[in-house]
Amino acid sequence: MSNFQHQFLNANRALFLFSVTVLLLSTTTTMTVTRASQQPCNGGGGPVVPTTPLVTFLERVQETALDTFGESEKNFDPKLYVDFSLKSNLSTTVVAFDKLPRSENGSVPAPDLQEFIEKWFGGAGDDLVYAEPVDFVPEPEGFLPKVVNPEVRAWALEVHSLWKNLTRKVSGSVLDRPDFHTLLPLPEPVVVPGSRFREVYYWDSYWVIRGLLASKMHETAKSIVINLISLVETYGYVLNGARAYYTNRSQPPLLSAMVHAIYNRTGDMELVKKALPALLKEYQFWNSGIHKVTIEDGEANNHILSRYYAMWNKPRPESSTIDKAHASKLSSDSEKEQLYRELASSAESGWDFSTRWMRNISDFTTLSTTSILPVDLNVFVLRMELDIAFLAKVVGDNATSERFLVASTARKQAFNSVFWNEEKGQWLDYWINNGTTCEESHTWQARNQNHNVYASNYAPLWIDLLNSDTSLVEKVRQSLQSSGLVCAAGIATSTINSGEQWDFPNGWAPLQHMIVEGLVRSGSQEARSMAQDIAVRWIRTNYAAYKETGEMHEKYDVEKCGSSGGGGEYKPQSGFGWSNGVVLAFLEEFGWPQDLKIDCQ
């Protein structure tokens, strides 16, 4: 066994013992991570997975920093403070922090706080170090053969080279002293999204991997999957991101899709064998306890579906000061706890934040994500069922394969009965009566469908089981064309301009890719033509913004070609893993002919 493997195992043992200690010391009624997701929710409560003392302390530092530097500090980012690492043990650091001079409002003189931070903390991101990808070459053999326009090809190679900038590995200090860090130890190099997102993220990684596969970087793609499998083995599910403050929630479950994509390119049977136990464990997480909801349709058929439900009822540590400001508008502690759970559950969805999760689209405190059966989450779980069926068959486990094919057929029927709306030609999110109770069954009612238009309403196109019906695809294609979502520079997230980042006019790479790939895979020529048109618009806006700023962006304003997106609770980020991946995947699928202009039209 290598020295690194010894360190990784020791770090995980230390982290495990540390977590057990926290559990024993916690005064809150809690349960272990692996059991928490399977417990029923009771009234306004529900399971809570405790965080670490380090995270709790760093939240205090974050709040003091806000009091000290103030809202006027343009670049104040609460996440920065919970990404710090310790230079000395926690108890000594807390004592030094408590000795700082304070005014009545809790602020510390700015020079004193700045000096304290520099003396006692390692910088955010210092515990991840640059790693040279083992399989990166400046121009891979067979790279994007259909891209013949020299201008576009040169840019694609620049995007390809960004993988070097975004590849990291966990530093030895994390392995030696995991209790000094909120960053979690991982065995392999990672690809981070970029900017403030200094750690690996779950659903981002699928589109990063799609780009890495286009870049012929199979080993780097495999390393990401091995890291995510290690999180399942430790926690029972893939975390939102590899930080101690993310252990109480996941993100859209795409691990099976990552394994499937890599296997299709490489035929790596060992990876499939390693992944299958983790995929079965993750499937259980999303299909039991708090995540499982039963809907009885008008013909008395029961349909099992999944929802987001974070195991947390306090401010999110990475946004603690922001969450407390939202909760200050509520009067009771129970209302605040419920809002905190909804905030964390919205973050688990990846759509943080959107009117999609609000009972009143003009009131942020009406977030009710746990009361919604989301179309796209159930797309991901259906994809998981189909992937597990395929991968189990690959390794010769026909019984598991058959079991998951049966489950996928049942979920397809649920899509028809619960989500599909014939009049609109879309699949619509479904509101359950009360997200804070776990009733045996909810009775389906037409009025509980959310009739607002979101890009996620078209996500089922991504699944072959749902895009193989030609007449259905044509109905959905026409619905998308007239939905108001298809704009000059891509597909908008919604038609509601709320100021939240997962609403109009922002467009996001994952949604472009799922809808475009679904249209292409349907086999319809009209659908493929529409898909290519959307892809061209998206590629152009990415190119124009890159030429103007020298960066790829997290999101884009689809009303204006070449304009990055805005809104939300943090400033727009660049880097950017999934945007890079989707551009490369689109160029791989469609190419770019010599005579097609790349500039905004």
Residues 6+ apart with CB under 8 A from 155: 543, 546, 547, 598
Question: Is 352 an annotated catalytic residue?
Answer: yes
Residues 6+ apart with CB under 8 A from 275: 225, 229, 255, 256, 259, 391
Question: Is 554 an annotated catalytic residue?
Answer: yes
E strands present in 253-337: 292-296, 302-306
Whole-number Å distance between alpha carbons of 551 and 573: 10
586 prior amide bond cis, ω within 30: no
DSSP 414-477: HIIIIIEETTTTEE--EE-S-TT---S-EE--GGGB--S-BGGGGGGGGSHHHH--HHHHHHHH
β 506-507/442-443 pair status:
unpaired
Whole-number Å distance between alpha carbons of 81 and 360: 32
| Helix count and strand count (H, E) for the chain | 21, 16
Element (H, E) at 324: helix 320-327
* Residue 231 DSSP class: H
Burial level of 43, CB count in 10 A (0-12/13-18/19+)? exposed
Considering 352, 500, 503, 588, which one is annotated as catalytic?
A: 352
With beta carbons less than 8 A apart as the criterion, state whether 341 and 43 touch: no
Considering 554, 557, 588, 589, which one is annotated as catalytic?
A: 554
Residues that are catalytic: 352, 554
